[in-house]
Amino acid sequence: MKRSIINNHIRDAKEFIAQMQFALPPFAYWSPEEWKTRGSEYNEIRENQLGWDLTDFGSGDYDRLGLFLFTIRNGSFKNPSGKTYAEKLLIVKPGQVTPWHYHNSKMEDIINRGGGGTLKIQLYRSLDEHSLDEKSDVPVSVDGRNYTVKAGTVVSLGTGESITLQQGVFHQFWSDDAALLLGEVSMVNDDHKDNFFLEERGRFPGIEEDEKPLHLLVGDYEKYR
Ligand SMILES: [Fe+2]
């Protein structure tokens, strides 16, 4: 993905997040030059991969298969005495799908925080890493209501609603009708080790440096210290 395209997505996201009246932490706005002046006291941001993140899941078609993210807080699998929780913002554009995956370690809540549309999230239990369980009902927890749905059910979440996703439950999600600001509140998040995609997918895009970064992505920190 070209850096100029990534910069444009970050500009759009900053505008959308401001419209939704959600405030990001100060490190969201640091320039690459400012990052070079930040010492080891900020290593939690670098090591736990806080900050800007986007993915086309290796599709080359971000508008169809992609997700924009900002990790606000996170712990690390390497530090059991650190934070045990994580929080992210996600932006889903209409027609843009986050493809089938589950997590082995992380339980997560996905929250429709704003944008006015409906989040669609489809669920199956997993038989293994590469197969959906087509037969078994799926346990669902939506804002304190615990029930089961048939395999493959699409759960709709309006503004303010949220769902808890247990480990091992395959999920894909999208919006048909509006750009959505989603929250994710979860256990420690490790996008390098804990995403099990049904089909072979990439998580972090290769970047063609056709202009300077507006802000660093989580994968850029090592180059700017
Ligand atoms: Fe997930």
Measured in angstroms, how far is the CA atom of residue 43 from the centroid of ligand 1? Answer: 25
Burial class (CB in 10 A: 0-12, 13-18, 19+), 40: exposed
CATH number of the structural domain spanning residue 14: 2.60.120.10
Report how far Cα 57 is from the mean position of its chain's Cα atoms.
Answer: 11
Contact between 50 and 72 under an 8 Å Cβ cutoff? The reply is yes
The pTM (predicted TM-score) of the whole model is 0.96
Q: What is the pLDDT of residues 11-61, one digit of tens each?
A: 999 999 999 999 999 999 999 999 999 999 999 999 999 999 999 999 999
End-to-end CA distance of the chain: 23
> What pLDDT does 40 receive?
96
Domain span at residue 182? Answer: 3-223
CA of 100 to the centre of ligand 1 (A): 9
Domain count, the chain: 1
Give the distance (Å) from ligand 1 centre to CA of residue 128: 16
Mean pLDDT of 118-147: 97
Distance between Cα 102 and ligand 1 center (Å): 6
